[in-house]
Structure 1
């Protein structure tokens, strides 16, 4: 076993994963110092993505149907701390490697399963190909505002980005580290399950939250303050996203661009533009003309100087080669044994005290066999872990959450689901976006952290906290006296979590950006646009919610190190690194079908139109004989099967194909997903009660833990509703009214937490 340092040094992982979800989750642990042994199947065909997914791991090839190799696998697991697999439910049980059997020989084991559908889902036996899960969860729509002219709104679009597999890996890696923290106290292992279908509800996020009385509202294009993607003088594009409660970003940009006079026409007057919609159209028309006057890179540099969220749209290759990505460590170059020096995503998160170690190129299959077998031949000692009381991993831990929008608050919500007491702080006198979902399970306070009185309250909270999270841009935290060095001086064991768009340590670290800037910089928009103009990817905010999970993973690593070593540290997650990880499977592979018109990478993995709608067919080449046995598909000519599929409904074709052992699923809308009886039975779509708007529908819990299940936080109260109770707790209850009169806190006339529209 090689101990290379890192937060997970000394942790042993056996990786039975294949495709993306399993290997990616194991890679995230390997990069933090875990000793990961990846088990290959005999004759496994490798593609270039293997260079990324299996770096930092040792490898052994085992035929799990052969008794001697199966014995080797069992001995690996007997000595392991973590097992990761992403087979369909029941496969590992049939091999004698299921949880029920292995926990008897290794009660300390954390067993992490990442199947397509859960064992408790009636679709458990359906092959959970990425397209199948996309159809089941509505992740096959073009984002509103980027739909081509004349587009049939019922037609799905295929994404080469494996969103469900990625989210399952992100959630699985977090849950494993949380489980290690719990096991450190109890000495007991557990079974974790994050099906790809479940994981997509983490990606859906606030898009699937709505008051029952109103119903799910229509998707809206992001157009506020002139937000959009604009063509420039050199034919390239920029993504400009001056969103916010005010038009300050737009005003800063116009000042820098020499167009200050537009303000006199009402083009920076938000209330007036809301009253007079033609001004919004005029603003977009003016911006379209303005951006055509300079090349994209020049606009990006101007935006940086002006301090606004504006980024040139790049390809993934350009981001991999960029100085910022290399200097910040978001991209590393490893000398792969087959490909030579190869650029690939670095560690998904940054840690100051236990730096990640993505420094070992992959071994080729069976490359570490002799070393692994020699270790297994040696006697194994007892781990000597304690047998203490249980409880959720972060029970008794306090989090002060200063983050805004989606990514940072999602990290706090996930920590709350795993037991943390999270106090959410928002700015007074503002509507809090997506509050009902991202701040569920937290206590909520409206506090002005810029004021001296507000800082007095904040430091009382920090003095009792184990974790502080923020997503202040640039050096703002330092300017408020809230930088890591300031907080560490009073709380040396704090886990200090920061989130931004462009990562840490490079020349872009201080730049502002949102989901769209992260997509623009890392090539996601180019990939989504295909041969046409770049477009913002997908119906869901996969960078925001993905970064929320990554930030929770970073916090979990910090808390595990604190639990085991007693030391705090600064940890960091970014939208651009999440953008790279969302594409990581494609970074080193030939491009798959992409762009709005794509239906799939092959005739056997693609969307088809049935008589009453669309469905996804997911079959492997070796399943074609079984496909021919399906009535109506005797001749597997692509044009003929497309015509055959239009003769019956999507549900009927799905029934026939699944009966033949082939993956298939009708396309669901978001509204259908959130009311699907299967999603409701599985706790993925839940009804809760908000004191503000009454009954609401929201996504449930994506992660299942058998013996120590996470908790579904109570529907959050109106923003600021816990202000007095929190002030009482920290000894400032008698000063509450004085603080409110000085606008340090807001205790009455609280703003809405649900979109009033």
Structure 2
């Protein structure tokens, strides 16, 4: 597109006090979008290999924050900054004289983002937030239903090298910072953001933690609909096949393309019949198992891609880094690192048409930009005047056409930050995960394919500041809803698209879900270790991660709109998020430890006590004081060991089930597990808000509406109230006998 300029955040100054992963990753997401990020290192700290990824596109200075003169330099950097990012335990920055209470007096425009392990208000605030500790605290240490090895003890935890909590905190933090900058543009005032790793996990948990109170949390179930599963092929490789949906169309397309369409005569594409006769589901899986063994995995992948079916070959992370699609789209970039040489790593996780990400620039080494940074401290500081307050997206209207989990989650997050979101779903269909992902939105059931439905849709577009969709490939164009169509009528709109694969490569039009994103990017291979590949974790880390990433892309688009009045097309994908979930493991993306792993070392691992399991997180120095206690740990209860280890300054946390987590008094007190009311099923329990903002807090969505419940009101707002019944009779819109939004087992 003509008229592009690198970086939606050009001119924004960020001081990054982050360490380990969360802070540096959030700052990287801003740096890639043009922000001038200054990373503060500890003197003498040696950078690890992940440093090449986490600190590209940044400038660096080393400061000893225990030395008064160096703290003075830090304060002067902050006085000139727009954003500060830190991920110390609560209270550390205050003790250094760099806490929010002091700094907002120095720089009232500062957006201050804290990313600790546990919140300052959490009784565990002093517990070091090691990734394994947070995983234990949030139940993120279970094997996915359907991939549990034979004979597995369900009480036994499993350790993953993918740092889910750290990643989600970074994703949420980066979004909240851009939202804060948008609000500051209007008000002139900064704010304090807090996204603890523990809290961020509730964004990852998502709809898995939502349930009607009377029914309680239901057991996890394997996805087997329409023959979904992981299958071994003729060459010993695997494919992940996921023909889910409201109909069996994907399964039918695949069977026809494979030359076995006659299976339909046996009832194997008749979903209602398979639900009534479970043996047909078993028969389908048996036949698919034999069918996939007849050809190599890559051949099945090409066949399914041509047929429009969600299927991906299970690759290693290295294979995806080297893939044509990842390289062509910029999902993977190669940086000539000063230590490692040419190094492949994740590119920007989002794509923007008018303000593309800045080219990946090799990292500076620690303190490499000191002279330049210090020289800039002599420049004057300009403070624009203050204005009116309000949530960042108050007054903004979003038309949300997305389905399933990722896209709708982005719309929910925008609603929490003030947007008026109208959610459009197809009439006469159950709306999956509606209670959580569409909380806080107004809901309409509209047939966007029909001519009457299109007329309503365009009226809604005329009123919107943003349109979001996750139509696969060129489907939006076939509906007349491609960016070029919408921009012609609304040149200032922010147009958000979400896909399985990144834009601009040979796979851009292919369909896929969470499991295809995991298969393609190496997560399934990593999770399986030396055994068969397995879908990762109990939670949908790509769906909900991409939802947060789409919200980040949308926030960049809205920030650009707020500051320039110009709209643009923004995009993100499951595979981009999949690589970012593994970014910490670059540039040596070996396979994972497998389900049997309990941790990376004796001082960072799960241990079994007399009555259950817990995770111990110690430093290597502390480990010298902690001998091999595996046998001793079995002689006392979990609570005893957690208390004893805490007294010794060692982090530990019991392994917590999801059911216990959602009723935990600490999660309830922090607003992370909340009671709400559904029009359909009555009282429900839901995950609350992962992000807190001190001066301008996000809002929890109101009572959960039944799908389509706002149809008449929305029609009236766009001048079509009198046509409501006529539109309903033609099924352009559904106003009565509304479908369910909760599973009914």
- TM-score (structure 1 length as normaliser): 0.97
Contact 1:494 1:568 in 2 (8 A): yes
SS of the equivalent of 1:450 reads coil
Give 1:383 deviation, angstroms. 3.2
1:383 aligned residue: 383
Determine the C-alpha separation between the residues in 2 that align with 1:236 and 1:349. Answer: 30
Tell me how far 1:556 sits from its aligned partner: 0.2
Whether the aligned pair in 2 keeps the contact of 1:436 and 1:715 (CA below 8 Å) is no
Residue of structure 1 in register with 2:598 after alignment: 599
Long gaps (5+) in structure 2: none
CA distance in 1, matches of 2:221, 2:431: 18
In the alignment, structure 1 residue 733 sits paired with structure 2 residue 721: yes
Query: SS at the partner of 1:388?
Result: coil
The equivalent of 2:408 in structure 1 is 409
Q: Does 2:677 align with 1:701?
A: no
What do you get for the CA RMSD once the two structures are aligned? 1.0
Q: Is the 8 A contact 1:593 1:601 kept in 2?
A: no
Deviates more, 1:42-51 or 1:160-169: 42-51
What does the per-residue CA deviation read over 1:326-364, in whole Å, with 9 as the maximum and x for residues that have no partner?
001100111111011111000010000000014211000
- The equivalent of 2:82 in structure 1 is 81
Aligned ranges 1:152-551 → 2 under 5 Å:
152-376=153-377, 378-384=378-384, 386-551=385-550
**2:534 partner SS:** coil
Q: How many residues are treated as equivalent by the alignment? A: 742
8 Å Cα contact 2:347/2:360 also seen in 1: no
How far off is 1:715 after superposition?
Answer: 2.9
Cα offset, 1:591, TM superposition: 4.3
Aligned to 1:13: 14
2:617 & 2:383 partners in 1: Cα distance? 44
Q: Map residues 48-63 of structure 1 onto 2, 5 A cutoff.
A: 48-63=49-64
Distance across 2 between alignment mates of 1:593 and 1:484: 40
Partner residue in 2 for 1:132: 133
2:587 counterpart residue number? 588
Report the equivalent of 1:711: 699
1:633 corresponds to which residue?
A: none
Structure 2 distance, partners of 1:587, 1:474, is 29
Runs of at least 5 residues in structure 1 that lack an aligned partner in the other structure: 629-635
SS at 2:705's partner residue? Answer: coil
CA offsets per residue over residues 378-408 of structure 1, 9 Å max, x none?
A: 2323132x31111100000000000000000
Deviations 1:489-540 (A, max 9, x none): 1110100000000110000000000000000000000110001010000000
Residue of structure 2 equivalent to 1:667: 655
Provide the TM-score with structure 2 as the length reference.
0.99
Corresponding position of 2:631: 643
Post-superposition Cα deviations, 1:263-290, rounded to whole Å, max 9, x if no partner, equal 1111111011001101101100100000
- Listed as ranges, the matches of 1:34-49 within 5 Å are 34-49=35-50
SS of 1:463's equivalent in the other structure is helix
Q: Does the 8 Å contact 1:501/1:513 carry over to 2?
A: yes
Q: Does 1:692 align with 2:680?
A: yes
CA distance in 1, matches of 2:46, 2:516: 36
**Residue-by-residue CA offset, 1:690-713 (whole Å, 9 max, x unaligned):** 111000000000000000000000
Give the secondary structure class of the aligned counterpart of 1:245. coil
Residue 292 of structure 1, CA deviation: 0.2
| Distance apart, 1:622 and its partner CA | 1.6
1:681 equivalent to 2:669? Answer yes
Could you tell me how far 1:593 is from its partner in structure 2?
Answer: 5.7
CA distance in 1, matches of 2:26, 2:593: 25
SS at match of 1:647: coil
Structure 1 residue 46, shift from structure 2 partner: 1.6
Deviation at 1:714, TM superposition (A): 1.1
Q: Distance in 1 between matches of 2:117 and 2:304?
A: 42
Equivalent-residue separation in structure 2 for 1:175 and 1:594 (angstroms): 33
Indicate the SS of the match to 2:463: coil
